[in-house]
Amino acid sequence: MSDKRLTIKKRLHIIKHRLRGNKMAPAFSALHTFLFTPDETTHSGGHIRSADDLKRTMNMVIMALIPVLLFSFFNTGYQHYAAIDAASGMPRVLSLWDNFLTWENFWLGFKLVMPLVIVSYGVGLLVEFIFAIIKGHEVEEGYLVTGMLVPLILPVDTPLWMLAVAVVFGVVIGKEVFGGTGMNILNPALTIRAFLFFAYPTWMSGDKVWVHGAVERTGT
């Protein structure tokens, strides 16, 4: 078959095989198998031949977390504006369509939560890629879910630099030192949360830290 007629998937398979033994092979393989089904199957023994793998299982968990992420957008905005109303002496009653599922709530929550998601994934996957290249193994899929969980369990006003430091600590100490996904005795997401709680307790504890701007407005 002419190279001009090869599909993108086939071209990526060819590049993957050419990179075998190369230090960048794990990094390329991670991106490749994220987009396409691997072209490798077992050749002997009583195995069920399936395209499913751990990465696709993790992707299903991420899809299940998408509604939770969307709820966090609306709830972040709602809690912020509800706190403002309460401070002005006008406590609001929750109404699904009037003051919860509104564009203002969604947009404020999006602007506050998405940077946490981006930093969580960016720093965490960077650490994963570095360890994969150094140790010469495939990039592990465990952080795909951890990267989504972390922003959902942290206060909305957590500084991004603080999150980045905690993610590095959580991935390295919570997982990589034990050998990676499946061999760690600590949950990376909870390790990140615990690190932040003990390292920066004033940012993590109390009822006000969960409402955007509440700490600044009350001065406590």
In the three-class reduction of DSSP (H, G, I as helix; E, B as strand; rest coil), residue 99 is classed as helix
Q: Calculate what percentage of the chain has a pLDDT beyond 70.
A: 85
Indicate whether 122 pLDDT > 90.
Answer: yes
Give yes or no for residue 89 having a pLDDT over 70: yes
Does the pLDDT value for residue 84 go beyond 50?
A: yes
Work out the average pLDDT over 153-172: 94
Higher pLDDT among residues 16 and 78, named by residue: 78
**For the chain, what are the domain ranges?**
3-35, 54-218
pLDDT, position 191: 93
Specify burial of residue 196 (Cβ count, 10 A radius: 0-12, 13-18, 19+).
Answer: buried
The pTM assigned to this predicted structure is 0.76
Residue 2's pLDDT is 47
Cα dihedral 96, 100, 106, 108, rounded to 10, equals 180
At 158, list the tokens: 């957590």
For residue 158, the model assigns a pLDDT of 93
Could you tell me which of 217, 134, 120 has the C-alpha nearest to residue 171?
120
Distance between CA atoms of residues 52 and 183, nearest Å: 21
Q: Are 171 and 143 in contact (CB under 8 A)?
A: yes
Q: Taking a C-beta distance cutoff of 8 angstroms, is the pair 38, 59 a contact?
A: no
Look at residues 83, 53, 60, 54 and name the one whose alpha carbon lies nearest to residue 214: 83
Under the banding of pLDDT at 50, 70 and 90, the label for residue 208 is confident
Alpha-carbon torsion (111, 69, 59, 63), positive or negative? negative
Strands (E), the chain: none
